[in-house]
Structure 1
Amino acid sequence: MRIVIAGGHGQIARRVERLLADRGDHAVGLIRNPDQADDLRDAGAQPVVLDLEATPAESVATALVGADAAVFAAGAGPGSGVDRKQTVDRDAAVLLADAAERAGLRRFLVVSSMGADAQSTYEEPGFQAYLRAKGAADDAIRSRASLDWTILRPGSLTDDPGTGRVSLAPSTGRGSVPRDDVAAVLVELLDAPHTAGMTLELIGGSTEIPAAVAALR
């Protein structure tokens, strides 16, 4: 499989790239900063320098032609302002969806956030802007009948070693989850067409990842 990952230098993205490379798939990481290219190669991915904040959809579509799936794993980051949360967490996700449609690509995964809501009333302004941007992006992608989308909403992310066991459902309740396990779930979802059209929450749990994904109906 050829998988294109937006936000290819992110912590979850590089974990996904390593997992894909380990199983013999071809991962392509979209990055804005060419200085990050060697990190992607080290993870077993092909780097493609492409700024989703400054590139039209028709140009992004070129990078998606021939791909089996796209994963939106980009984010402006916790230190970014409100404007970049809009241009990255919202607008870049919508742009990638537009490009996927142009390229004729159907399978489309999104790394969102638990609590994402275009009308979020979260008290802290920066995180409220983030949740609103993610929520608006999710809403826009859910409206695409031409995409076999799955939206993954992890709980609080940690750098603890993955356990391979999770709770994965439309609603899980609050909790945390290692980035290792988020990446492993994303790779499992790539091979799970029955999850198209689902918005799923993810936290640590007791169910092995393949079984957790297989149980979704």
Structure 2
Amino acid sequence: MKFERSITMNVLVIGANGQIGQKVVNLLQESEEHTVKAMVRKEEQASALAKQGVESVVASLEDSVDELANAITGSDAVIFTAGSGGKTGSDKTLLVDLDGAVKTVEASEKLGINRYVMVSAFQANNRKNWNDSLLPYYAAKHYADKALEASSLSYTIVRPGGLLNEEGTGKVAIGEQLDRGSVPREDVAQVVVDSLTTQNVNNRAFDLTSGDTPIKEALQRL
């Protein structure tokens, strides 16, 4: 099967200190195609990344659009993997997972960014399938995704199922509506990175679970 030619990009990872974000940063750092810059909230996180040889910028998703644009400046692509976390209330879900995400979309548009990859939530597009115990989170993801889809950006929205800390298999199922399932964070990170340069998933949104198809092939088949 024929795959896209590699394209070199300067990639900003928002939420780089999160569990998926760290894996995305590592993949990009190891990549021969891309350079990576990590956006984190704390100076100590930036210092730890510097020891790994990773460039970073300290910024908050509660900053203004202009401040976020300053953090994004110099990037060709943005990967959004951030989240308010399970220990915060609905107020932070609103400010980070919804408004924070939308502000990065607006900032990226102002800068003329070419690519934006969003890590969303499984079936966030389909209200009847939302997890009843996480309704504010799903609502935030739903409307952040809608804002990205309505933007001028070339986007990809990845909606992973239940997240596992197991070793990745490199094989997944990808589709616009899948049966509920789980997927290792390692495989989510690889799908996100491969989505950057797979033209077939430009301006597409899809669910992601573990499956039987190698990642690059699954992206091509969508």
Does the Cα contact within 8 Å between 1:9 and 1:40 map onto a contact in 2? no
2:138 corresponds in structure 1 to: 131
Which residue matches 2:169? 163
How far off its partner does 1:112 sit? Answer: 0.3
CA distance in 1: counterparts of 2:168 and 2:73, whole angstroms: 33
Q: Does 1:8 align with 2:16?
A: yes
Q: 1:44: how far off?
A: 4.6
Number of the residue aligned with 2:35:
26
SS in 2 for 1:157: strand
Q: Which residue identity lines up with residue 138 of structure 1 in the other structure? A: D
Closer, same or farther: CA 159–44 of 1 in aligned 2, 3 Å: farther
CA deviation vs aligned residue, 1:40-65 (integer Å, no higher than 9, x gap) = 33555312101111x21122112323
Q: Deviations over 1:74-102 (max 9, x none)?
A: 00011110000001110111000000001
**Residue 187 of structure 2 aligns to which amino acid in structure 1?**
D
- Quote the RMSD (CA, aligned, Å): 1.6
> TM-score with structure 2 length normalisation?
0.90
Alignment of 1:75-114 (within 5 A): 75-114=83-122
Structure 2 CA distance for partners of 1:209 and 1:99, relative to 1, 3 Å: same
Structure 1 match to 2:150:
143
Question: Aligned in 2, Cα 1:43/1:119: closer, same or farther, shift over 3 Å?
Answer: farther
Contact 1:16 1:183 in 2 (8 A): yes
Structure-2 residue corresponding to 1:215: 221
CA distance 1:135–1:21, change in 2 (3 Å): same
Q: CA deviation at 1:70?
A: 0.3
Matched to 1:48, the amino acid is V
CA distance in 1 between partners of 2:208 and 2:19 (Å) = 17
Task: Give the conservation status (yes or no) of the 8 Å contact 2:123–2:177.
Answer: no
SS in 2 for 1:185: helix
> What percent of counterpart residues are identical?
36
Contact 1:71 1:109 in 2 (8 A): yes
Structure 1 residues 210, 78: closer, same or farther in 2, change over 3 A? same
Q: Which amino acid aligns with 1:142?
A: E
Where does the alignment leave 5 or more consecutive residues of structure 1 unmatched? none
**What secondary structure sits across from 1:174 in the alignment?**
coil
Q: Would you say the 8 A contact 2:121–2:141 is kept in 1?
A: yes
Equivalent of residue 204 in structure 1, options 184, 197, 210: 210
For 1:143 and 1:173, the matched residues in 2 are separated by 27
Runs of 4 or more, structure 1, over 2 Å off, are 38-45, 62-66, 117-124
CA contact (8 A) 1:62 1:103 kept: no
Amino acid at match of 1:132: A
TM-score normalised over the length of structure 1: 0.92
Q: Which of the residues 159, 184, 193 maps onto 1:187?
A: 193
Shift of 1:104: 0.8
Classify the secondary structure of the residue corresponding to 1:4. strand
Q: Work out the CA distance in 2 between the residues paired with 1:206 and 1:26.
A: 30
What letter is aligned with 1:35? E
Cα gap change, 1:208/1:122 in structure 2, threshold over 3 Å: closer, same or farther? Answer: closer
Distance (Å, rounded) in 1 between the aligned partners of 2:162 and 2:141? 15
- Kept in 2, the 8 Å contact 1:118–1:131? The answer is no
Give the Cα–Cα distance (whole angstroms) in 2 for the partners of residues 68 and 123 of structure 1: 37
Relative distance call for 1:93 and 1:118 in structure 2 (3 A) is farther
